[in-house]
């Protein structure tokens, strides 16, 4: 029995030894596997015991920092030593919390590598405890996140900057403006001003010289503005050809204006665009900060309103915001909305004003004029609503309506009144209509639907419209002439034109603007202009219509210089279609050529 027990004891001992060896082997294999994983891991593992002694550093420490692990073994605080000093306080604060409460923390810091490069590292630190929760040290995992950080910074920069010029965009500029206005710096430093800048005729630069040249101009403007900035100023590109400056301080209004004028003059220096010198002009709007005005958007809005007023003055304008401009802008917006509803509700109507032969007094044609009676304000001048329709593009809808209804009306009076069969109709085209590819087909379709002979329709354009794009205008006008309609240049003398281009356009008539006609009896200069324009027109084979004739003396002088036709209150006022036949009949009866 004892022998059996002894044999059992020996067997048990051998079995326990074998199990111990197997457990040790398994632990050794796991340790080797763990070390292999750490060796090939991109993350660096650092184990520090409760006494602050570094017990383990993985090889990745060298690949991240450029320093050997021995540096940490010799100096457990070596990581802090190579950390960018401005990041160290946040790291130390987290270490103190970990020491007091345990748990874990993670923080991103910058370190200086052995090569001098700055590297972003994510540090994840966890407290190590025994089974009873007593602290035994800490484990620090370091991960190189430089690429992610740089990508995030790049994306953040792109989100706040214009890719073409590298300038901040509107959203980033608004943040800076808000910080200045609401941070109290505007009051301390003597105020702030928003300066809105627009490159004049930039579309023409793109259209004529190409977008590459246009981009080059924008870069030059951006560089010049950078060179002008003071230490507390800010700059952005709003988009397109618009830039915005935040000028800090400035003192009195006249000092701000003087500085803005200097900036404007600097921007108007010529620019080299691929070997071609281009003269630039810029329009500028200025809005200054006012006490109690704390919304950056309001300053931007006011600067934009001032800029629009500057642009209306032509190239190189400068306007400082005033309260009346805001009221005007609000009225403009209200008018825009009311016009939208007026078009939708067919609230427009046509009136017709005759053109007469100056020799006989006989009516030869009538001009169709769009009229709008506002439900509250009554009749609204076309000078007030036509520019708004042009600006918003709604002029296309009104223009199509006028063309259709004018041709229909002309066909009706020619059909119903045999004596008026020779009286045609003139219709004004807008700049947007002239630029529409479908204009010629639209005119042809209207003539077909109305039954009006093409020779009974005269289309009027301004010289400014033609010169915006002379080649395209010439092409469109020639296609219209092929339909058989007549063409006239309206308000001649108020725009700009080249005699060479004027000769090339297939025009039949020049209409002298009323500003020359109305002053010709008292101003010899205006009379000479009328005389010269009439002679010029005749030399080109064109007939002449004088607009705005209100006095008999004007009629006599116009007839004396050879002007064939006239239009104005002296002969007839505009009337609706229902009154037109009677008006034309009266003119026919009073003419010296009633047949």
Range of the structural domain that residue 511 is part of: 332-590
Mind listing the pLDDT tens digit for each residue in 351-372? 999 999 999 999 999 999 999 9
Q: Is the pLDDT of residue 164 over 70?
A: yes
Decide if pLDDT at 293 tops 80: no
Task: Flag whether pLDDT at 13 surpasses 60.
Answer: no
Query: For 448-470, what is each residue's pLDDT tens digit?
Result: 999 999 999 999 999 888 887 88
Does residue 207 belong to any structural domain of this protein? yes
Pick from 510, 562, 516: nearest CA to 540: 510
User: In this predicted model, what pLDDT tens digit does every residue of 165-188 receive, in sequence order?
Assistant: 999 999 889 988 888 888 655 445
Average pLDDT score over residue span 190-208: 86
Angle at 19 between CA 15 and CA 25, to 5 degrees: 145
Say whether both 363 and 467 belong to one domain: yes
Question: CA-to-CA distance for 179 and 186, rounded, in angstroms?
Answer: 9
One domain, residues 441 and 557: yes
- Which secondary-structure segment (H or E) carries 119? strand 118-129
pLDDT at residue 595, rounded to an integer: 46
- Please tell me whether residues 259 and 216 are part of one structural domain: yes
Residue 375 domain flag: yes
Residue 76 maps to which CATH number? Answer: 3.30.450.20
Euclidean distance between CA atoms 523 and 533, whole angstroms? 16
Query: From the CB of residue 514, how many other CB atoms can be counted at a distance below 10 Å?
Result: 18
pLDDT at 190 exceeding the cut of 60: no
Instruction: Kindly state whether residues 577 and 502 are assigned to the same domain.
Output: yes
User: 490 and 566, same structural domain?
Assistant: yes
CB–CB of 197/222 below 8 Å? no
How far apart are the C-alpha atoms of 280 and 240, rounded to whole Å? 16
194 shares its domain with 86: no
- 2 falls in which pLDDT band (50, 70, 90)? very low
Q: What's the pLDDT tens digit per position in 524-555?
A: 999 999 999 999 999 999 999 999 999 999 99
For the chain, the straight-line distance linking the first and the last C-alpha, in angstroms and rounded, comes to 158
312, part of any domain: yes
Average pLDDT, the chain: 87
Cα angle 103-108-112, degrees, rounded to a multiple of 5: 125
Report if residue 542 sits inside a domain. Answer: yes
Q: What's the pLDDT tens digit per position in 376-399?
A: 889 999 999 999 999 899 999 999
Min mean pLDDT across 9-23, 368-382, 406-420, 461-475 is at 9-23
pLDDT digits over 29-38, tens only? 555 555 655 6
In a shared domain, residues 467 and 506 = yes
12: in domain = no
Tens-place pLDDT, residues 270-281:
888 777 888 889
Residue 158 lies in a domain: no
Same domain (yes/no): 273, 337: no
Which of 100, 117, 149 represents a domain boundary (last residue)? 149
Shared domain check, 541 and 478: yes
* Domain stops at, among 321, 341, 356: 321
- Assess whether 317 and 337 both reside in one domain: no
In this structure, of 312-321, 335-344, 429-438, 539-548, the range with the lowest mean pLDDT score is 312-321
- How many domains is the chain partitioned into structurally? 3
């Amino acid at each position: 029995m004892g022998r059996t027990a002894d044999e059992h004891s020996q067997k048990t001992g051998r079995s326990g030894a074998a199990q111990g060896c197997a457990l040790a082997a398994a632990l050794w294999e796991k340790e080797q596997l763990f070390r292999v994983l750490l060796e090939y891991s991109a993350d660096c593992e650092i184990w520090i015991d409760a006494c602050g002694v570094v017990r383990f550093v993985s090889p990745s420490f060298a690949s991240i920092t450029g320093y050997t692990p021995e540096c940490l073994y010799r100096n457990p605080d070596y990581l802090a030593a190579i950390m960018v000093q401005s990041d160290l306080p946040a790291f130390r604060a987290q270490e103190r919390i970990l020491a007091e409460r345990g748990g874990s923390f993670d923080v991103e810091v910058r370190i200086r590598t052995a090569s001098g490069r700055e590297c972003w590292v994510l540090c994840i630190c966890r407290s190590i405890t025994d089974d009873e929760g007593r602290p035994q040290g800490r484990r620090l995992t370091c991960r190189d996140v430089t690429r992610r950080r740089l990508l995030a910074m790049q994306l953040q920069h792109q989100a706040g900057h214009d890719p073409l010029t590298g300038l901040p965009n509107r959203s980033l500029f608004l943040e800076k403006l808000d910080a200045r206005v609401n941070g109290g710096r505007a009051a301390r430093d003597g105020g702030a001003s928003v300066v809105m800048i627009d490159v004049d005729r930039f579309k023409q630069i793109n259209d004529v010289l190409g977008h590459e040249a246009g981009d080059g101009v924008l870069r030059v403007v951006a560089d010049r503005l950078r060179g002008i900035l003071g230490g507390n100023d800010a700059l952005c590109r709003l988009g397109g050809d618009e830039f915005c400056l935040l000028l800090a301080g400035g003192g009195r209004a006249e000092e701000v204006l003087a500085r803005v004028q200097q900036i404007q003059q600097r921007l108007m220096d010529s620019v080299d665009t691929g070997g071609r010198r281009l003269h630039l002009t810029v329009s500028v709007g200025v809005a200054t900060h006012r006490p109690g005005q704390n919304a950056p958007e309001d300053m931007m809005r006011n600067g934009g309103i001032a800029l629009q007023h500057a642009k209306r003055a032509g190239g190189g304008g400068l306007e400082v915001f005033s309260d009346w401009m805001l009221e005007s802008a609000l009225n403009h917006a209200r008018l825009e909305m009311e016009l939208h509803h007026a078009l939708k509700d067919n609230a427009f109507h046509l009136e017709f004003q005759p053109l007469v032969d100056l020799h006989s007094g006989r009516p030869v044609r009538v001009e169709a004029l769009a009229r709008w009676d506002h439900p509250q304000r009554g009749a609204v001048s076309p000078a007030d609503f036509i520019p708004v329709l042009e600006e918003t593009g709604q002029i296309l809808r009104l223009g199509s309506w006028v063309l259709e209804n004018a041709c229909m009306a002309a066909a009706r009076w020619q059909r119903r009144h045999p004596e008026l069969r020779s009286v045609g109709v003139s219709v004004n085209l807008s700049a947007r209509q002239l630029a529409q590819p479908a204009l010629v087909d639209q005119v042809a379709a209207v003539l077909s639907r109305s039954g009006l002979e093409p020779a009974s329709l005269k289309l009027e354009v301004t010289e400014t419209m033609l010169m915006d794009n002379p080649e395209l205008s010439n092409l469109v006008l020639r296609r219209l002439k092929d339909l058989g309609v007549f063409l006239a240049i309206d308000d001649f003398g108020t725009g700009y034109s080249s005699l060479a281009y004027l000769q090339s356009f297939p025009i039949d008539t020049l209409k002298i603007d009323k500003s020359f006609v109305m002053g010709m009896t008292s101003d010899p200069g205006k009379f000479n202009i009328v005389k010269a324009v009439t002679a010029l027109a005749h030399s080109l084979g064109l007939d002449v219509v004088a607009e705005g004739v209100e006095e008999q003396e004007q009629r006599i002088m116009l007839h004396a210089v050879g002007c064939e036709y006239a239009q104005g209150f002296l002969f007839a006022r505009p009337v609706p279609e229902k009154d037109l036949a009677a008006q034309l009949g009266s003119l026919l009866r009073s003419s010296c050529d009633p047949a």
